[in-house]
Amino acid sequence: MADAADVLSAEADDHFHDECGVFGIFGRQDAAAIVTLGLHALQHRGQEAAGIVSYDGSQFHVERHVGLIGDTFTKQRVIDSLKGNRAIGHTRYATTGGAGVRNIQPFFAELADGGFAVAHNGNLTNAMTVQRALQKQGSIFSSTSDTETILHLVATSKERDLNARFIDAVRQVEGAFSLVALSSKKMIGCRDPLGIRPLVLGDLDGAWILASETCALDIIGARFVRDLKPGEMVIVTSKGIESIFPFEPQKPRFCIFEYVYFARPDSSVEGRNVYDVRKRIGAELALESPVDADIVVPVPDSGTPAAIGFSQAAGLPFELGIIRNHYVGRTFISPGDSIRHMGVKLKHNANRRMIEGKRIVLVDDSIVRGTTSQKIVQMVRDAGAKEVHMRIASPPTRASCFYGVDTPEKSKLLASRMTIEEMAEFIRVDSLGFLSMNGLYRAVGEASRNDEQPQYCDACFSGQYPTRLADLEGTDNVRSLSLLATGGL
Ligand code: SF4
């Protein structure tokens, strides 16, 4: 039986979680302060720990802490400690078990020719395989993170200079990686050949910036230059910026879930404004799955843009029938048994006046385990909703992600074990509709999904992974990779 902590944390949080955001700047005196602001804008990509590494011309400085950026990166730690005109940072989400200070990024090591730090958004699908090979040659790993593998590959490469050693390293890894690295002389950015996770280039008065999303440029008034291309590596030095393509070209497979949920709605990724895409998703959903209802209500905040799009396309009023409490910390999950039975609503509360006696269309971004949906539906019914019709702004999530997203095991995904009718019964709605795969592709600007060669990664919906999953081969243990991804091994 689940304990109170399980019940309440599930109520507060039943989503896929992007695990990381990265940010780097080269050539600006207050570099660490800028990185702190950039990471603050990327906090939605990971709330549990963060780190910054800076270089001041003679030595590296490292700060890595558990907690939110705003709480942990104080003036003393940023302004006084992290000196230098170049710095990189990382914010991470991690599940319990295996998470800890040793897994906080950026990873830093003194290599033969100087210090080197690396921060990673994504997940390597052959990290365990490569790690075992390195361990046989004598490498010792100090964390359970796949990212440390890259550091070891750079350290042990026989190539003559850092660029060549970095290329040698990234050519040996598979999966999703948007990397930002720092040495005494350069900052390096690199996207995997499929471009699964985002990485953008910006400029702040002549200082180059690398960031996971454009919202991290906006916060400091930096100019968006462009997305890094899939398979591109940029090298920033005091002489300027150089771009190279060290991988065999492949058809890009950007993560389509970034548009559905991970990226912030005010960001533009791969040339598209996320808010616009989410509204188009809602409009497609209204066309595909119309409802005879009185109002459209989002499950805030993630369902809001799609609900606006649904309401506009369906010609139904949009109402905030559920209010979200934004001050739910992940630590506030341990009340005693007696409180648990009160049906504590930590994160969402029904706005009874808008809901009572109405037939409502409830719009959410996705259904993962179904626990949150079940509670929210019960909550709006308790507030007097006459009918509850749920519409989901993505296809059913049926498979785990191995590319840097914390996902439950496949068996825990509601859609992997139930039909849509069974899911509707489980969450107790009058009707349930999901966006079709082609509807999602239309919303991101494609005519339809190319089933022979999909234009995006959509593996959590389709089960078709765009890379080999080397660490799974021969083990039959999907969870091993999942645990590695989340620092659980
Ligand atoms: S499996 Fe899903 S969440 Fe993971 S990268 Fe692919 S589309 Fe994104």
Nearest C-alpha to atom 5 of ligand 1 is from which residue? 255
Of the pLDDT bands very low, low, confident and very high (cuts 50, 70, 90), residue 329 is low
pLDDT of residue 213: 98
Find how far residue 445's CA is from the centre of its chain.
22
Pocket test for ligand 1, best of 20, 194, 402, 403 (most atoms within 8 A of CB): 403
What share of the chain in percent tops pLDDT 90?
75
Residue 7: how many CB atoms within 10 A of its CB? 18
* Local confidence band at 466 (pLDDT 50, 70, 90 cut-offs): very high
The model's confidence at residue 5, banded by pLDDT at 50, 70 and 90, is very low
Q: What are the start-end ranges of the H helices in 171-223? A: 215-218
- Residue pair 274/263 in contact (Cβ under 8 Å)? The answer is yes
E-strand spans in 187-321? 187-191, 200-204, 207-211, 223-227, 233-237, 240-244, 254-255, 268-269, 272-273, 295-298
Identify the burial level of 163 via C-beta atoms within 10 angstroms of its C-beta, where 0-12 means exposed, 13-18 middle and 19 or more buried. Answer: middle
- Which helix (H) or strand (E) segment holds residue 12: the answer is helix 4-12
pLDDT at 332: 46
Spot the catalytic one: 8, 20, 355, 376: 20
Between CA 345 and CA 332 the distance in angstroms is 12
pLDDT confidence tier of residue 333, bands split at 50, 70 and 90: very low
Higher pLDDT, 84 or 102: 84
**If residue 162 lies in a helix (H) or strand (E), which one and from where to where?**
helix 162-170
Q: Which CATH number fits domain 275-465: 3.40.50.2020, 3.40.50.10330, 3.40.50.300, 2.50.20.10?
A: 3.40.50.2020
Active site residue 20: yes
The atom number, within ligand 1, closest to the CA of 256 reads 7
Give 3-state DSSP helix, strand, coil % of the chain, rounded to 5: 35, 25, 45
- Residue 372 and residue 48: Cα distance in Å, rounded? 21
b/e sequence 193-214, b meaning 16+ C-beta within 10 Å: bbbbbbbbbbbbeebbbbbbbb
Residue minimizing CA distance to atom 7 of ligand 1: 458
Q: How far is the CA of 401 from the centre of ligand 1 (A)?
A: 5
**Ligand 1 binding residues, C-beta < 6 A:** 16, 196, 255-257, 401, 403, 405, 457-460
Q: What is the mean pLDDT of residues 195-216?
A: 98
- Judge contact between 209 and 31, C-beta under 8 A: no
Nearest Cα residue to atom 2 of ligand 1: 460
CATH top-level class for 13-253?
Answer: alpha beta
411, pLDDT greater than 70: yes
Q: Which residues are annotated as a binding site for Mg(2+)?
A: 302, 364-365
Does the CA dihedral 260-261-265-270 come out positive or negative? Answer: negative
- Give the pair of three-digit tokens for residue 205: 């008065």
Residue 339's pLDDT is: 56
Rank 195-209, 320-334, 365-379, 465-479 by mean pLDDT and report only the highest: 195-209
| pLDDT per residue as tens digits for the range 123-135 | 999 998 999 888 9
Q: Report d(CA 166, CA 187) in Å as an integer.
A: 12
Q: What is the pLDDT of residues 152-185, one digit of tens each?
A: 999 999 999 999 999 999 999 999 999 999 999 9
Closest approach atom of ligand 1 to CA 459: 1
> Rounded to whole angstroms, how far apart are CA atoms 176 and 324?
32
Residue 474 pLDDT class (50, 70, 90 cuts):
low
Q: Convert the pLDDT of each residue in 96-118 to its tens digit.
A: 334 577 889 999 999 988 999 99
User: What single DSSP character describes residue 89?
Assistant: E
Torsion (CA) 302, 308, 314, 316 in degrees, nearest 10: 110
CA 142 from chain center: how many Å?
24
- In whole angstroms, give the CA distance from residue 211 to residue 90: 10
Residue boundaries of the structural domains of the chain: 13-253, 275-465
Please tell me the predicted confidence (pLDDT) of residue 94: 63
Model confidence at 18, pLDDT cuts 50, 70, 90, reads low
Residue 477 predicted with pLDDT over 60: no
| 7 pLDDT higher than 80 | no
